[in-house]
Structure 1
Amino acid sequence: MSQKWSLTQQAETAALVAAESAGAVVSDESSLAGFLEIEALFSRVWLLPPGESAIPSELLRSISHAGCNVTAARDQAGRIIGAAAAIVTPQSSSMYSLIAGVAPGISDRGVGFALKQHQRAWGLARDLTEMTWTFDPLVSRNARFNLSKLGAHANEYVVDFYGPMQGEMNANDESDRLVAVWPLTSAEATACSEDRPIAVDRPSYSPSDVLQEGPDGNPVLVSANGALWCRVPTDIVALRAQNPEVAAEWRRRIRSIFTDVFASGQIARGVSRDGWYRIEPGGTE
């Protein structure tokens, strides 16, 4: 049995288990009706005003027609509850995730995890070994999902990646992004696919370990347990709505920290439940 076949089988099995655990049916989507449903779902997820779209159905159809990935998750009644799309990076063994989202109100069911495991299996079956995407470093829930639940890492920070963002969720904030790199064949990705996430507990530190304080006056960057630790707000979406000035100060502070630590050869590997990034020596991978 070849190593590639064995890993692909592992990924496919893990994807099926994840879908079953989420109570979902996850599969490739290729129908126009399905693309229209996905477009409508993403508009609800990102709280976009009428007439605006996170990704048009026409583009989803083109992505699918080009042989790239459009994944849909449906409940037992056939209703769309999550979706993701990824394109293949030319002349490489990497795929790039454009968008992924889950219907409001069911984020704790594991649908997002099932979508990503389906994409991992899809990529491995096509000799792809890596997936990349971007995410907002201030959204701690997504950060933990990407780095701890999936086993991705990050060592690149991009300022205002998309330009100013519209919609109620983004509240006209700047679109700074971390670049997630997910090695599909790594031991971490394999363990995470079998529901063995990377364990990251909030650091224990003394006052002398504090390197910077955040806009709330509490430690935001500390050196402890052989690593650097960077804290982000518990709920940046609510903070943007309640106090956009403070949210903007968080953006500037986290931008400065990540830009500096990545320039020094550090890498983010995991996030605690309460929003602490673990940053370790690692360099570019």
Structure 2
Amino acid sequence: MFTTTPSFDSATRQAEAAAGAAGVRIETIEAPERLGVVSHLFAEVWGTDPGHEPFAGDVLRSLAHAGGAVHAAFGPTGLLGASAAVFGPPRKGDLYSLIAGTTRISQGVGYALKLAQRAWALEQGARTITWTFDPLVRRNAWFNLVKLGAVAGEYTVDFYGPMDDGFNAGDETDRLTAVWRLDTVGSAEAPARPEPDPLPGPDGQPFTARGGRSLWCRVPEDITAIRRQRPELALAWRTAVRDVLADALADGSTATSMTRDGWYHLTRSDREDTP
């Protein structure tokens, strides 16, 4: 459901409600020993070896000291999730979310973290939060575009270069850039798509559809499992989705929503095309 949030106070109430529903307490933390625990949680979520955490504790400490924020979600058993963000260029009014993760998938912890991050960003005067995500990870795409209400208008091929964690190893790290306007939370799911195009996707089933100024593109249900079990199929999905999304976004479309069964909905602005 789409809602408008005009103030920091109401954003704080929404964040507190989300934390209560998830059964967690959200804190911003700066103490080195506590940031070390956050670093270990990120390593657990991303499946990295000891000494190769996505963000080391000292880096998180510097980030917080420089004016960013590390939010941590604590439940009865301890730390369950965390996020870290810094501000973008001066005067842009944008907070850049570097990382967010939780050991409790689909239990509201990630949503509570993002709403807490949003409330903090509004208090600092930010207007948007930006981050990147893998376009092939369906649950993240739905969370970002529908649950939060972000949009994605930029596709970058191999954004990070090779990575050797439990999610990205063996694949190129293409990313969509999400931008979340902080005066809104949530978006409508994508409308019903028209008859799919006959061109098959990597699994032999249609994966694109077109209607009016809209384009739909399907992604697999669990790309992480496909990478482990059939890496050649995962690479085929990467190439197929890249060919559709990268061209569409470069041509002025924006990914605005997603269906529950994994179809991106991309729309074009109403501006007239120029020759």
TM-score interval w.r.t. the shorter chain?
A: over 0.9
Match for residue 134 of structure 1? Answer: 132
SS of the equivalent of 1:100 reads strand
Letter matched to residue 118 of structure 1: A
Deviation at 1:169, TM superposition (A): 2.2
Match for residue 36 of structure 2? Answer: 36
Please say if 1:26 is aligned against 2:26.
yes
- The answer for unaligned runs of 5 or more in structure 2 is none
SS of the equivalent of 1:210 reads coil
Please say if 1:200 is aligned against 2:184.
no
Letter matched to residue 89 of structure 1: G
- Distance in 2, Cα, partners of 1:35 & 1:212: 49
Match for residue 96 of structure 2? Answer: 96
Tell whether the 8 Å contact from 1:215 to 1:249 is kept in structure 2 after alignment.
yes
- Distance in 2, Cα, partners of 1:110 & 1:60: 24
SS of the equivalent of 1:213 reads coil
Show CA shifts across 1:186-225 (max 9, x none). Answer: xxx23x3xxxx52235x3433xx41632111111110147
Cα 1:225–1:114 shift into 2, 3 Å: farther
SS of the equivalent of 1:273 reads coil
**Percent identity over the alignment?**
42
TM-score (normalised: structure 2):
0.92
Stretch of structure 1 that moved more, 275-284 or 20-29: 275-284
Letter matched to residue 239 of structure 1: I
Deviation at 1:76, TM superposition (A): 3.0
- Distance in 2, Cα, partners of 1:262 & 1:169: 25
Letter matched to residue 120 of structure 2: W
Show CA shifts across 1:141-199 (max 9, x none). Answer: 000000000000001000101001112322321100000011112xxx23x3xxxx522
Tell whether the 8 Å contact from 2:170 to 2:227 is kept in structure 1 after alignment.
no
Aligned partner (choices 89, 114, 117) of residue 116 of structure 1: 114
Match for residue 282 of structure 1? Answer: 269
Deviation at 1:58, TM superposition (A): 0.4
Letter matched to residue 65 of structure 2: H
SS of the equivalent of 1:113 reads helix
Tell whether the 8 Å contact from 2:200 to 2:207 is kept in structure 1 after alignment.
yes
- Distance in 2, Cα, partners of 1:63 & 1:74: 21
Cα 1:119–1:252 shift into 2, 3 Å: same
Tell whether the 8 Å contact from 1:102 to 1:112 is kept in structure 2 after alignment.
yes
SS of the equivalent of 1:212 reads coil
Tell whether the 8 Å contact from 1:12 to 1:121 is kept in structure 2 after alignment.
yes
Please say if 1:236 is aligned against 2:223.
yes
- Distance in 2, Cα, partners of 1:225 & 1:40: 48
Cα 1:25–1:281 shift into 2, 3 Å: same
- Distance in 2, Cα, partners of 1:211 & 1:7: 47
- Distance in 1, Cα, partners of 2:63 & 2:233: 39
- The equivalences for 1:8-19 within 5 A come to 8-19=8-19
Tell whether the 8 Å contact from 1:267 to 1:283 is kept in structure 2 after alignment.
no
